[in-house]
Amino acid sequence: MNSNNPFFKNKSFTNTTRYSADNINEPQTIVVDYNDTMTVQGTINKSFVMLLLLIAGAAITWTMTFSGYNPIVLTIGGAIIGFILVLIASFKPQHSGYLAPGYAIFEGLFIGGISAIFETMYPGLVIQAVGATFVTFIVCFGLYKYNVVQVTDRFRSVVVGATLAIASFYLLSWLFSLFIDFQPIHHGNSLMSIGISAFVVIVAALNLFLDFDQIEKGAQRSLPKYMEWFGAMGLMITLVWLYVEFLRLLSKISSRD
């Protein structure tokens, strides 16, 4: 039950067990009210709430940009604070009811800022990235719901391995660029760079299957209700990553025109 998403790696998704009152051999019997446990529908509802909050946050920096103001402080600040909230929630998932909405708002500031930058450079690019992200999510959800794609141990290990490789590649490229005159191959609009971005988009999309699977298993295990916010927050992280990678990919393609 491993997912690349840092939230779904949290032990809270794996070490909570509900016991049946019919089994007297269990060391402890816990009576659980269904209304106090995690459900798939509850996680979906909270995901929609987070999406609305993210859009609201994005509207702030987006509007500032096209009103002649520089949103760089809010954009960078939103990214930093959002990352901090992610770290806190990873260790304190019981506070996800407060941290998840906060993450959505601050991450929205970041998304709105970078979206405005890309839009000024390539008009119409943002709506393409939004559409591509939405379609990808719907397709992946449908494939998972109807068992066309099943999350096996091998599938999970391949996706996690590919994601870790991407993260390491990005990190090393960034470190090298700080200290030496180094131009990462995933920068620019070469065919190699476009190919790398396309690969990253595919891996990001595959992570959605891991997220769906983890949320479903969390509901089956009757985890605490606050894990709905925790699960929704993790899913939102994957969607944000997917959207940003679509922005990068589409901008590279547009720059070749």
- pLDDT higher than threshold 90 for residue 148: yes
In this structure, of 25-39, 108-122, 182-196, the range with the lowest mean pLDDT score is: 25-39
- Residue 191: pLDDT band (50, 70, 90) is confident
Range of the domain at 142: 11-255
Q: Give a yes or no: residue 202 inside a domain.
A: yes
Instruction: In whole angstroms, give the CA distance from residue 225 to residue 236.
Output: 18
Q: Give a yes or no: residue 164 inside a domain.
A: yes
Q: What share of the chain has pLDDT > 70, as a percent?
A: 84
- Whether 1 and 214 have beta carbons less than 8 Å apart is answered as yes
Q: Give a yes or no: residue 68 inside a domain.
A: yes
- pLDDT higher than threshold 90 for residue 73: yes
Average model confidence (pLDDT) for the chain? 86
Q: Give a yes or no: residue 3 inside a domain.
A: no
- pLDDT higher than threshold 50 for residue 11: no
Split into its structural domains, the chain has a count of 1
Q: Give a yes or no: residue 4 inside a domain.
A: no
Instruction: In whole angstroms, give the CA distance from residue 108 to residue 59.
Output: 8
pLDDT digits (tens, 9 = 90+) for 236-253: 999 999 999 999 999 999
∠ CA 158-160-45, nearest 5°, is 120
What secondary structure does DSSP assign to the chain, as a single string? ---SSTTTTSGGGTS-----TT-TTSS------GGGB--HHHHHHHHHHHHHHHHHHHHHHHHHHHTT---HHHHHHHHHHHHHHHHHHHH-GGGHHHHHHHHHHHHHHHHHHHHHHHHHHSTTHHHHHHHHHHHHHHHHHHHHHTTSS---HHHHHHHHHHHHHHHHHHHHHHHHHHHS----TTSSS-HHHHHHHHHHHHHHHHHHHHHHHHHHHHHHTT-BTTHHHHHHHHHHHHHHHHHHHHHHHHHHHHHT-
Cα distances (Å, whole numbers) of residue 219 to 82, 144, 150, 246, 247: 26, 16, 17, 31, 33
- Whether 253 and 43 have beta carbons less than 8 Å apart is answered as no
Evaluated on CA atoms 141, 147, 149, 151, the torsion sign reads positive
Q: Give a yes or no: residue 76 inside a domain.
A: yes
Q: Give a yes or no: residue 239 inside a domain.
A: yes
Residue closest to 250 by CA, chosen among 162, 130, 166: 130
Chain centroid, CA 112 distance in Å: 16
Q: Give a yes or no: residue 1 inside a domain.
A: no
